[in-house]
Amino acid sequence: MIILGIDPGLTCTGWGIVAKAGSRLSHVANGHIRTNAKASMAERLVELDAGLAAVIAEHRPDTGAVEEVFVNVNPQSTLKLGQARGVAMLAVARAGLSVAEYPTKVIKKALVGTGGAEKAQIQAMLKVLLPGVTLAGEDAADALAVAITHANMIGSHR
């Protein structure tokens, strides 16, 4: 099974793909989609959608998962994040895939064992779980963490 994880953001959306065979996970790919900060909101959302559609077309995942929105101090930032997240969910669903959603604390707990884990701890655990992985950045690392969380949740429901 090929699993796509997405860490949504308007400026930069991370994506990560893992393959699950039995209880074994392996890294397939990871990266990020950056939007043009000078473009209109609508144009940026189109860029994000096109980038995710290209990732889905290239890697043909079987399912996808998206990190849930957390509420920022700045309501404007929360709104922008929510719009990017909506586009991410739409891109996955439009490809005919199921879309799971996980809160940040669940993702951190699934990887590190505590919901208060730091980004450095998550990245260190990714290197243990996916030996030899080269991370394309923090957003891509977070997206791989989403994909791994979903892979583990799929396994726990069977």
Choose, from 7, 47, 49, 142, the residue flagged as catalytic: 7
Choose, from 43, 47, 58, 67, the residue flagged as catalytic: 67
CA gap 21, 2 in Å, rounded? 9
Cα–Cα distance list, 157 to 67, 96, 114 (Å): 19, 21, 21
Q: Is 68 known to be catalytic?
A: no
Choose, from 43, 49, 58, 139, the residue flagged as catalytic: 139
Q: Is 49 known to be catalytic?
A: no
CA gap 90, 97 in Å, rounded? 10
Question: What is the residue whose two structure tokens read 């990266």?
Answer: 31
Q: Is 7 known to be catalytic?
A: yes
Which residues are designated catalytic?
7, 67, 139
